[in-house]
Structure 1
Amino acid sequence: MRIFVAGGSGTLGRRLVPLLVARGHQVTATTTSPGKLDLLRQMGAHAVVMNGLDAMSVGETVASAGPDVIVHQMTALSMAHAGKPDLKHPDRWAATNNRLRTEATDHLLGAAAATGVSHVVAQSMANWYGGPEHGRVIEADPLPPEEVAPKMRKSVEALRYVEDRVAKANGVVLRYGPFYGPGATDHVLDLVHRRKFPLVGRGAGYFSWVHIDDAASATVLAMEQKANGVFNIVDDDPAPVGEWLLHVAACAGAKRPVRVPKWLARLLAGEIAVKMMTDGRAFSNAKAKRELGWQLRYPSWREGFKEELA
């Protein structure tokens, strides 16, 4: 198939594009930076510069590529682009990313309709938000109400928007858990080594990690099978911060993380950071495994981080 990967030079795109090429697909991959064109060519893709926030740029680039499938992997949350995360003001920090989830999604769906592309794959997040008080979050569980996180209202609305728009277009939305693996957790490891990633309270908030290569393999399955709807893309082993952070520090040869009370963390990092560290919910990957036949190379972050940091 002819595959159009919007955002091919991003963290996931760099693992996804070579995988698609290896499976015999003809890949056109985009970047916003001319300096990354050679990187995409080295991965085997036809490389082009595209501005996802410009409808004309998107329309012309998609029309020229003539793809069978469009994969939306454009983000603006990398450390290099956005700098240090500002969890006290998440909507302000993620403003460009939110536009990519709304405006750029519309541009890609419009280009797909105009050129007869039958399937679109887009990304969302499986993070601390939403879900029941007990048990794992499934795809049918709603995203959080605005009062849960008022300072990230626009970010939540952007997630709702991309999930709703792509689902209505019979596409598929993949809710990726936090990535780890090559190029995905350098900032986390830097903070761990500098003891700048503390345990907040009891560290009871769950993270549902996924290795970057497992995320890429799930994306390929969703694309090749032309699945539709929403899928959580996380590993089998959601774990509280108090468990995984100690493991990562030990694997990295770093000192044990410091522990800070909630009130102090609230002053230093804001309410959202405290919620993530103390109140995050575990996500279920049962639907992706059942319906996509997804098999994880790294079923647990325990083995994955150990191998990555060996």
Structure 2
Amino acid sequence: MRVLVAGATGAIGRRLLPLLLAAGHQVTGLSRSADGLDRIRESGARAVRADALDAVGLRRAVAEAAPQAVIHQLTDLSGADGAANNRLRREGTRHLVDAARAAGADRIVAQSISWAYAPGDGPADESVPLDGTGEQPRARIVSGVRTLEETAAELPGAVALRYGILYGPGTWYAPGGPVAAALGGDPGARFLGSVEADDSVSSFVHVEDAARAAVLALEWPAGAYNIVDDEPAPARTWLPVLARALDAPAPARAAGAAPWARGALNARARALGWTPAHPSWRDGFARQEG
């Protein structure tokens, strides 16, 4: 299959390209920078320069690649700027779907998140609606996710991968990353999230498992899938384990929980053959590299 990867040089994209090539796909990666293009070529994939916020340039690049399927791994998280990332979810996805349709592609696998569900008891499966809250800044985040998924679903073969919190190389949770800095008391550490050891429940997924899911999802029925490990857990449980793995001080226990922080279930993806190689953050945190 001819596959175009948007976001090919991100934490997931870097692992995704060799997996797609090993599976026999013809792969083209998009990047905005010359360095990014070089990294894509070094992986063995074809490289095309494009900016997802430039509709005309993106359409030209996608037409050149002539993909049968598009994998959307676009994020803008390097500066921990939620507004910039939300813009990419909205405008970048719009441009990418329009370009894919114009090029004749009818399948897209899009990166979404698993912590946008409405509040409730216990981890959420995909039947739970997205949060309808009007409270900011969460309302903007969920609105951006909803727009991303609805825009992607304009293509008949649209799959939304609702990833858990990503950890592993190239992520905020890797050794030497901003979460380690925050746990160490650095007030300048920049990331989106919290290091409060409260009762808020999260689900995690290692970047390698996230990339493997994207390859498999090229063959999955359209719809949304939680891509998370097997152990949703409260921050009071997982944060001390992460701190120990990062050789950072463990935070003091905090009270309370965000009502929407409930974690997610992965049964739907598992039923289609995805099995996380890192089934729990307990072992995964300790084994990750920077």
Q: What TM-score comes out, normalization by structure 2 length?
A: 0.89
CA shift, 1:279, in A, is 5.5
| Offset at residue 261 of structure 1 (A) | 6.3
Alignment of 1:181 onto 2:168:
yes
Q: Show the counterpart of 1:190.
A: 181
2:130 aligned to which of 138, 143, 153: 143
- In 1, Cα distance between the equivalents of 2:69 and 2:226? 20
1:84-233 aligned at under 5 Å gives the runs 85=80, 93-127=81-115, 129-147=116-134, 149-170=135-156, 171-184=158-171, 185=173, 186-194=177-185, 200=196, 203-223=198-218, 225-233=219-227
1:234, distance to aligned residue in structure 2 (A): 0.4
What secondary structure is seen at the aligned counterpart in 2 of 1:173? strand
2:280 counterpart of 1:294: no
- Partner letter of residue 110 of structure 1? D
Instruction: Find out whether 1:281 has 2:262 as its counterpart.
Output: yes
Distance 1:59 1:226, change over 3 A: farther
Q: Is the alpha carbon distance of 1:60 and 1:195 closer, same or farther for their aligned partners in structure 2, counting shifts above 3 Å?
A: closer
Count, aligned residues: 280
Partner of 2:4: 4
Structure 1 gap segments, 5+ residues each: 86-92, 263-273
Task: Give the direction of change, closer, same or farther, for the CA distance of 1:99–1:256 in structure 2 (3 Å limit).
Answer: closer
| Post-superposition offset of 1:95 | 2.1
CA contact (8 A) 1:59 1:111 kept: yes
Give the partner amino acid of 2:182: L
Give the direction of change, closer, same or farther, for the CA distance of 1:228–1:193 in structure 2 (3 Å limit): same
Determine the C-alpha separation between the residues in 1 that align with 2:136 and 2:103.
Answer: 39
2:241 maps to what in 1?
247
- CA distance in 2 between counterparts of 1:194 and 1:229 reads 41
Counterpart Cα distance in 2 of 1:31 and 1:157: 26
Which residue of 2 is the match for residue 64 of structure 1? 64
Deviates more, 1:294-303 or 1:109-118: 109-118
Indicate conservation of the 8 Å contact 1:193/1:249, yes or no: no
> Residues 14-25 of structure 1: matches in 2 within 5 Å?
14-25=14-25
Q: 1:150 to 1:193 in 2, by over 3 A?
A: closer
Q: Which has the higher helix share?
A: 1
Retained in 1: the 8 A contact 2:167–2:205?
yes
Question: Paired residue for 2:47?
Answer: 47
Write the distance in 1 (CA, Å) between the matches of 2:50 and 2:195.
40
AA matched with 2:222: N
Contact preservation (8 Å) 2:100, 2:106: yes
CA contact (8 A) 1:7 1:73 kept: yes
| Paired letter, 2:210 | A
- Structure 1 residues 199 and 175, CA gap change in structure 2 (3 angstroms): closer
Contact preservation (8 Å) 1:72, 1:123: yes
Runs (5+) with no aligned partner, structure 2: none
State the TM-score, normalized to the length of structure 1. Answer: 0.84
Aligned residue type for 1:283: A
SS at match of 2:137: helix
Aligned alpha-carbon RMSD (Å): 2.2
CA distance in 1 between partners of 2:260 and 2:248 (Å)? 25
What's the CA shift for 1:237? Answer: 0.4
Please identify, of 40-49 and 233-242, the stretch whose mean Cα deviation from structure 2 is larger.
40-49
In structure 1, distance between residues paired with 2:100 and 2:117 = 31
CA distance in 2 between counterparts of 1:309 and 1:226 reads 31
2: CA distance between counterparts of 1:136 and 1:58?
A: 38
Q: Which moved more, 1:20-29 or 1:210-219?
A: 20-29
Where do 4+ consecutive residues of structure 1 move more than 6 Å? 195-198
| 1:35 positional shift | 2.2
**CA 1:246–1:195: 2 relative to 1, 3 Å:** farther
Shift in CA distance, 150/255, structure 1 to aligned 2, threshold 3 Å: closer
What is the alpha-carbon distance in structure 2 between the residues aligned to residue 187 and residue 49 of structure 1? Answer: 29
In the alignment, which residue of structure 2 is the partner of 1:306? 286
Letter in 2 for 1:298: H
